[in-house]
Amino acid sequence: MIHLGSDLTYQDVPGVGLVAYVLPVVPEAAPAEAREGLARRRVVAHTGQCPCGARMVLPNRAARRASRRSRTVRHLTVEHEPDCPAADNRLLFLLGRANPEVTR
């Protein structure tokens, strides 16, 4: 069984403010392609871009202000290429093959 953990990190994003990211830990026991997918997700959180070319989509200014006022969590979107190991469906498939208990 592969145990998926997470790290919490903070970054000051210009125009947004202080942002907390929950980043996946890359387990050594995971298949190589799954480790690559998790590593790419960490890269996206720090740089805003995946090696597949996908970019992190930040909410518009009105949505950011509304979220700040309501003190809610914003979820950022990254649309990876379908064959990228960091794409949701691909990564879940890879982790599910190695760990049947992994579900969405």
Sign of the Cα torsion 45, 47, 52, 56 reads positive
Higher-pLDDT residue of 65 and 90 is 90
pLDDT band at residue 53 under the 50/70/90 scheme: very high
The yes-or-no verdict on residue 79 having pLDDT over 90 is yes
The yes-or-no verdict on residue 28 having pLDDT over 70 is yes
- pTM score of the predicted model: 0.72
pLDDT value of position 104 = 45
> What is the mean pLDDT of the segment spanning 12-34?
80
Determine the Cα angle at 73 with ends 78 and 42, to 5°.
40
